[in-house]
Amino acid sequence: MEKPKILEGIHRRRLLEELHNRYAKPSSLGQRLWYLRKKYLWIIFVDGAQLLKRCFDVVFSAILLVVISPLFLIIAGLIKLQDGGPTFYVTKRVGKWGKEFRFPKFRTMELDADQMKEQLVGRNEHPGDIRFKMKYDPRITRLGRILRKSSLDELPQFWCVLKGEMSLVGPRPALPEEVAKYNLEQRKRLDALPGITCIWQVSGRSEIPFAQQVDLDIAYIESQSFSLDIKLLLKTIPAVLFGRGAY
């Protein structure tokens, strides 16, 4: 049955009025101000949150580096006494938006660890994962095992936070060869500054499968806030003290 043309006109007019009310640019000054506030004010809040995060990163890292400087000297001396090799192990890591940076750690492995890795690839305890992980990696020294268990080997990364290459909280930075294997979903991890701690660091660390780590990192990026960062930093303290999932 053919619809009455008068009803079609009424429905069409109502639809056009609804679309106009939703999307047409407002005419009065009050409406324009409301429109501009809705359109642009969120940028101020987002930038303000990032500014607060950055200020906290700088202040916290600067104070911590001063306080723990004697500990730096002690650890550096113990590593030198161990085998006379370099104190730091520096690699390239991938940061926000794919930018590479130098990533320092206190050296926890034997001097020929990179060469030994080729012989250990088949013993990877995370088969199918992009990363290489072994709970009892024979390349790790006795001192290195203590440093890793207590996360003291990560302390030099506070320099990266101070320089703006990392943040206190964010996805852990990956190696370039790992990022090269990322799919489109996994590349979302690069939408934020890498961090010293993150959600999965306080939830099981190395014991959590890589796919689940990615899901947790993306969940953090999509809901990050200053209050969430503080909560994760507070949860990091017992995770480090008890060494849960660290190896």
CA distance 117 to 122: 10
Each residue's pLDDT tens digit, 89-108 = 999 999 999 999 999 999 99
CA distance 202 to 235: 6
CA distance 105 to 147: 10
Band (pLDDT 50/70/90 cuts) for residue 78 is: very high
Residue 174 maps to a domain:
yes
Element (H, E) at 166: none
Residue 100 maps to a domain:
yes
- Per-residue pLDDT at 108: 96
Q: Which of these ranges, 95-104, 112-121, 155-164, 225-234, has the smallest mean pLDDT?
A: 112-121
- Count of C-beta atoms within a 10 Å radius of residue 7: 9
Cβ(108)–Cβ(148) under 8 Å?
yes
pLDDT at residue 8 is higher than 60: no
- Per-residue pLDDT at 47: 66
pTM of the model: 0.76
Residue 90 maps to a domain:
yes
Each residue's pLDDT tens digit, 14-58 = 665 665 566 555 556 666 666 665 555 555 555 678 889 999 999
Element (H, E) at 145: helix 142-150
- Count of C-beta atoms within a 10 Å radius of residue 64: 15
CA distance 127 to 151: 25
pLDDT at residue 74 is higher than 70: yes
User: Of residues 236 and 26, which shows the higher confidence score?
Assistant: 236
pLDDT at residue 182 is higher than 90: yes
What domain range includes position 98? 68-242
Element (H, E) at 133: none
Residue 48 maps to a domain:
no
- Count of domains observed in the chain: 1
pLDDT at residue 7 is higher than 50: no
Residue 50 maps to a domain:
no
Each residue's pLDDT tens digit, 131-179 = 777 778 889 999 999 999 999 999 999 999 999 999 999 999 999 999 9
- Structure tokens given for 206: 């190395």
The amino acid sitting at 200 is W
Residue 247 maps to a domain:
no
Residue 217 maps to a domain:
yes
Residue 49 maps to a domain:
no
